[in-house]
Structure 1
Amino acid sequence: MNAYKPKSAEEAVSIINSGESVFIHTAGAAPQALVKAMTARGGELRDVTIYQLHTEGEAPYCDEQYRDAFNVKALFVGSNVRAAINDGRAEFIPSFLSEVPLMFRSGVLPVDVALIQVSAPDKHGYCSLGISVDASKAAVDVAKKVIAQVNPKMPRTHGDGLLHISEFDAFVECEEDIPELKPHLLSDSEKLIGQHVAGIIEDGATLQMGIGAIPDAVLSCLGNHKDLGVHTEMFSDGVLPLLESGVINNKLKTRHPGVTVSGFMLGSRKLYDFVDDNPAVRMLDIQYVNDTAVIRKLPKMTSINSAIEIDLTGQVCADSIGTRIYSGVGGQMDFIRGASLSPGGKPIIALPSVTARNDTKIVPTLKSGAGVVTTRAHVHYVATEYGIADLYGKTLKERAKLMIEISHPDHRDALEKAAFERFR
């Protein structure tokens, strides 16, 4: 450590040049001190391309005043860049999460600089990418310059994210809290969805679930299950009670038995403390985690994903509201396809039947301009608070009937009329 001296954030980002491309560490690992220092140079920098997935915290480089300095290209859209994307101040790259590392490694998306946040170095000088390995490891691998924010509050995780401090071209020491997710009080409809989905999850299944109310609702209903495993792109606090009780023990997994596998996480400090230096949790490169060839070999792989809306034939929109980009493609298709090919696997789309304004989320046709993230050929199970529709092997007319049965009663008449006019 004595051979490597920290710099100020301003000194560290001074090695970023106009015309270069910069990757920003994903989700809760976005290095805010470095982001702010880089943005402060917006008056002198020009045509710096920023690549990122979802990041927590601020994204000041998206402000109108920095349009000439930063060209933001998001591979997944979070709340901090959503307005900029839809106002034309930033751009969206549709991509499967499993292929983002390949885009970096192949040079399709060239990375000159990687801005990352890491744990404090151990006695051998190794830091960890902590709660976010995902595509960030690939960006670090190919970056010509790596600038790190060393934060003692970042947990040290096992897996692919270990980096020696000698690999950093510059680093800053900055202790700050890692972003946390506030606990969510489950609604009655979310609890019902959780019960329905939990009812078709078998003992010995391997789970992929996201972050949010519905995954938490499902996990809360699995207390009586046995020998579950986890191989997921992301996870949060919902898995902790099942890990602590032994319901999730990963012992039947054919890959990484006994180990929870993920690409990134976002949750409470309790979660971060649980994974800190825990060899039973392995954070791996998302090119591997989300590889369909890997996923399909896991027994009874059960994938639980959500949607913005879904039509009567099973087309899933999960990235936009009409033409307005809301999130991204992410890993939904990676796991939907992988689970469908797994022996005994179950790909599940779970969503409330209506929005907060009581608009139906099961629609005759998707909104104009909506993105089809998961095609109707890939969809098997669809769950709402009114039950589960198994669309696999069904005709379009049969699908419409099943989808109407799990729609909100207030909207069934209109959906039945639309289905009659379409399918006679």
Structure 2
Amino acid sequence: MSVDRIANARLRDRVVSAEAAAALIQPGETVAMSGFTGSGYPKAVPVALAQRIEAVHAQGLPFQISLMTGASTAPELDGALAKADGIAMRMPFQSDPDARNRINEGKLDYIDIHLSHVAQHVWFGFYGDIDTAVIEVSAIREDGSLVPSTSVGNNKTWLDLAKKVIVEVNEWQPAGVDGMHDIYYGTALPPHRKPIPLVHANDRIGETALRCDPDKIVAVVRTNGPDRNSPFSPIDTTSEQIAQYLIEFLKHEVAKGRLPANLLPLQSGVGNIPNAVLAGLAKSGFRDLSAFTEVIQDGMLDLLRDGVLSYASCTGFALSPQANETFKEHIDFYRERIIMRTQEISNHPELVRRLGCIGMNGMIEADLYGNVNSTHVMGSRIMNGIGGSGDFARNGFLSAFLSPSTAKNGSISAIVPMVSHVDHTEHDVSVIVTEQGLADLRGLTPRKRARVVIDNCAHPDFRDQLNDYFDRASRESYGKHTPHLLPEALSWHQRWLDTGTMKA
């Protein structure tokens, strides 16, 4: 006989349908929901809320909410509410096609901010009050504390600050995640903050469950639905080449004595290229590695299983369906090696700097001098958002940005004279890697960086074009420190918009 996931009798009496819970959310509210990269988000209430919004709209009445989460979520949340035209404002990160289209059409306001800033900015009152929190958990303990599921994100802040709380108890989530979480309640508002007592990436400094005033919990909904993360594509040659260049660089840093033999705590963005890096690490000979990152993806489970990675700290999962089953099957093994923290700890700039994290993130484009655009296509169209890449780029021991050298069947160069949008300035970027090679920018002046980036990272189809631009800029620009021809600096992007190619 299965054990009831709702062990608190008082909260068991508040079990209602998803429709009844959604009816408690009113037009114009600011609603904070759980979820981080397709894991741990509420599965039922957002869908019911979207249906309610559509019914209200059919009557000719307005109904939208402002929506906050940990990061991106899934079709049942971002997708359903975006399709229903139910979101007036979204923050801090998204990856849903319907939401993205509405943002780029100017129909949905979007605030893209560093993930480490979200909780503290909400505590500071920058975004007003949180009216309702909708949080997925794996269980409610007898004392009323809430066991998170496969992400923690900003849930602690949402529960602390929301006026009313709706809890989804998802029995699809493995009960064995209980004990995997580390919820730190020692943060405070300035100027009375104390140092966070985390010295090693696997230190436990908090509690294994979330606190919540039971009087604020207005509804509990039982669910049984899977997290939704897309399967990773098979690792392609380009991703393998990028991964190999980065791994050889890390070996070189060890040989030079700048890194220990087991490196420093790794942070990895989500996607096929970071997953290829993780796969490469499994074959590289490195051992006893650690991770202090935002997301555990398939490759990190493999490294933990094979003993390459000793432990990993994160705030959520981004596992393919197959990896999810592996995780659930071996939950006892992984619970001893994975720690899930609040987002304000997993992305905390001071911790990233003190631990000396190695940041590995994707990018859309980089320019000759090392500025990186990781969010906007052609300067104006948002892709997903900055996420936590800036938290690790500015504060980590090393910050590496990875991308194929071209996009759109070779019509776009990822290396351009000037990026069309700046997320990470040249001051925060250590290394740029494409399948063409690796550019180590540390200690180089701007003009020297330009030559290294062109020679090592640009695709041959664009290399002569870049050299021509840089040579003429070095002769003709207003200043020689960071040479630019301002009328031409963004002309590559305009040429693509006008003709469909950046090639001259």
TM-score w.r.t. the length of structure 1 is 0.89
| Deviating more after overlay: 395-404 vs 17-26 | 17-26
Structure 1 moving runs of 4+ over 6 Å:
none
Q: Structure 2 matches for 1:164-313, cutoff 5 A?
A: 166=214, 168-201=217-250, 202=254, 203-205=261-263, 206-223=265-282, 224-250=285-311, 260-268=312-320, 269-270=324-325, 272-273=327-328, 274=330, 278-299=335-356, 301-313=357-369
Instruction: Tell me which of 389, 396, 420 is aligned to 2:446.
Output: 396
Larger radius of gyration: 2
1:382 has 2:432 as partner: yes
Paired AA for residue 370 in structure 2: G
Which residue number corresponds to residue 150 of structure 1?
Answer: 169
Write out per-residue CA displacement over residues 64-105 of structure 1, whole angstroms, 9 at most, x where no aligned residue.
x64xx6413231121241011111221111211101011222
Instruction: Tell me which of 151, 157, 162 is aligned to 2:209.
Output: 162
Which residue number corresponds to residue 253 of structure 1?
Answer: none
Q: 1:48 to 1:346 in 2, by over 3 A?
A: closer
Which residue number corresponds to residue 410 of structure 1?
Answer: 461
| Kept in 2: contact 1:120–1:154 (CA 8 A) | no
Give secondary structure in 2 for the equivalent of 1:89.
Answer: coil
Percent of aligned pairs with the same amino acid: 30
Q: Tell me how far apart the structure 1 counterparts of residues 105 and 470 of structure 2 sit (CA, whole Å).
A: 36
| Kept in 1: contact 2:148–2:181 (CA 8 A) | no
Root-mean-square deviation (CA), in Å? 2.1
Q: Tell me how far apart the structure 2 counterparts of residues 196 and 183 of structure 1 sit (CA, whole Å).
A: 21
| Deviating more after overlay: 216-225 vs 157-166 | 157-166
Q: 1:315 to 1:60 in 2, by over 3 A?
A: same
| Deviating more after overlay: 106-115 vs 314-323 | 106-115
Paired AA for residue 179 in structure 1: R
Q: Tell me how far apart the structure 2 counterparts of residues 45 and 245 of structure 1 sit (CA, whole Å).
A: 54
1:61 has 2:119 as partner: no
Q: 1:79 to 1:314 in 2, by over 3 A?
A: same
| Kept in 2: contact 1:158–1:279 (CA 8 A) | no
Which residue number corresponds to residue 159 of structure 2?
Answer: 140
Q: 1:275 to 1:118 in 2, by over 3 A?
A: same
Give secondary structure in 1 for the equivalent of 2:158.
Answer: helix
Q: Tell me how far apart the structure 1 counterparts of residues 326 and 425 of structure 2 sit (CA, whole Å).
A: 34
Q: Tell me how far apart the structure 2 counterparts of residues 11 and 350 of structure 1 sit (CA, whole Å).
A: 46
Q: 1:377 to 1:323 in 2, by over 3 A?
A: same
Deviation of 1:353 after TM superposition, in Å, equals 0.8
Which residue number corresponds to residue 123 of structure 2?
Answer: 105
Q: 1:174 to 1:8 in 2, by over 3 A?
A: same
Give secondary structure in 1 for the equivalent of 2:309.
Answer: coil
1:364 has 2:417 as partner: yes
Q: 1:275 to 1:57 in 2, by over 3 A?
A: farther
Alignment length, in residue pairs? 403
Gaps of 5+ in 2: 1-6, 184-207, 255-260, 476-504
Which residue number corresponds to residue 79 of structure 1?
Answer: 96
Write out per-residue CA displacement over residues 34-70 of structure 1, whole angstroms, 9 at most, x where no aligned residue.
001112222166453222331112423223x64xx64
Deviation of 1:180 after TM superposition, in Å, equals 3.2
Deviation of 1:128 after TM superposition, in Å, equals 2.4
